[in-house]
A and B are shown apart, each in its own frame.
Chain A
Amino acid sequence: MSLRGEAAIIGIGELPTQRSTPGRSMLGLLGDAARIAIKDAHIRKEDVDGIVTEGGATYPASVAEYLGIRDVRFGTGSSMMGASGATGIAIASMAVMNGLANNVLVLMGVARNPALGGGGEGFGGPGGEFEMPYGTAAGANTGYAMIYKKHMDQYGTTQEQLAHVASNQRFNALENENSAFKGQAISHQDVLDSRYVNYPLRLLECVMPCGGAAAAIVTTAERAKASLTNPVYVLGVGTALDDFGAYPKPEFTTSPVARSAPVAYAMSGYTPRDIQFAEFYDCYTILEAMCLEDAGIAPKGEIGPFFAATDTTYKGTFPINTDGGQLSSGQPGLAGGFRHVIEGARQIMGKAGVRQVARKDLCLVNG
Chain B
Amino acid sequence: MTSEYKKPLPRPTINPEVSQPFWEGTKKHELWLQYCLNHNGHFFYPREVCPVCLAPQERLVWQQVPAKGRVHSYTTVYQPALPAFAEEAPFIHALIELDAGARIVGNVVGLSREEVEGNALELNQPVEAVFEDVTDEWTLVKWQRVDG
Minimum distance in angstroms from B36 CB to a CB of chain A: 14
Judging by beta carbons under 8 Å apart, are A196 and B78 in contact? yes
Residues of B within 8 Å of A252, CB to CB, are 72-73
B63 on the interface (CB 8 Å rule)? no
- Number of B positions contacting A (CB below 8 A): 42
- As a 0/1 sequence over residues 132 to 153 of chain A, the CB contacts with chain B under 8 angstroms (1 = contact) are 1111111101100111111001
B21 on the interface (CB 8 Å rule)? no
Minimum distance in angstroms from B136 CB to a CB of chain A: 15
Judging by beta carbons under 8 Å apart, are A246 and B81 in contact? no
Query: A134 with B73: in contact, given A128-B11, A198-B79 (CB under 8 Å)?
Result: no
Provide 21 A-B residue pairs closer than 8 Å at the C-beta atoms, listed in order of the A residue.
A120-B82, A125-B14, A129-B19, A130-B44, A130-B105, A131-B105, A135-B81, A135-B82, A135-B89, A137-B81, A137-B93, A141-B75, A142-B75, A145-B76, A146-B93, A149-B73, A149-B74, A149-B75, A153-B73, A153-B123, A198-B76
Residues of B within 8 Å of A130, CB to CB, are 10, 44-45, 104-105
Chain B residues packing against A (C-beta within 8 Å) = 7-14, 19, 44-45, 51, 72-82, 85, 88-91, 93-95, 103-107, 119, 123, 134, 138, 140, 142
Question: Total A-B residue pairs with C-beta atoms closer than 8 Å?
Answer: 126
Minimum distance in angstroms from B115 CB to a CB of chain A: 12
Q: Which of A129, A141, A197, A199 contacts B45 (CB 8 A)?
A: A129
A149–B123 alpha-carbon span in the complex (Å): 9
A141–B103 alpha-carbon span in the complex (Å): 18
Residue of A nearest to B76 (CB): A199
Q: Sorted from nearest, which 7 A-B pairs have the closest CB atoms? A: A145-B75, A199-B76, A120-B81, A146-B73, A135-B85, A128-B11, A150-B73
- Number of A positions contacting B (CB below 8 A): 37
A148–B123 alpha-carbon span in the complex (Å): 12
A119 on the interface (CB 8 Å rule)? yes
A141–B76 alpha-carbon span in the complex (Å): 11
Residue of A nearest to B80 (CB): A135
A216–B11 alpha-carbon span in the complex (Å): 40
Residues of A within 8 Å of B80, CB to CB, are 135-137
Q: Which of A119, A128, A133, A201 contacts B140 (CB 8 A)?
A: A133
Residues of A within 8 Å of B13, CB to CB, are 124, 126, 128-129
With A119-B81, A129-B10, A135-B107 given, can you name 13 additional A-B contacts, CB distance below 8 Å?
A129-B12, A129-B19, A132-B8, A132-B10, A135-B91, A136-B81, A136-B93, A137-B75, A137-B78, A150-B72, A198-B77, A199-B78, A252-B73
A119–B14 alpha-carbon span in the complex (Å): 19
Judging by beta carbons under 8 Å apart, are A134 and B107 in contact? yes
Residues of B within 8 Å of A353, CB to CB, are none
Minimum distance in angstroms from A24 CB to a CB of chain B: 25
A367 on the interface (CB 8 Å rule)? no
Judging by beta carbons under 8 Å apart, are B140 and A198 in contact? no
Max chain A Cβ within 10 angstroms of own Cβ: one of B14, B45, B89, B106:
B45
Query: A134 with B72: in contact, given A120-B82, A126-B14, A198-B93 (CB under 8 Å)?
Result: no
A138–B123 alpha-carbon span in the complex (Å): 23
Residues of A within 8 Å of B75, CB to CB, are 137, 141-142, 145-146, 148-149, 198-201
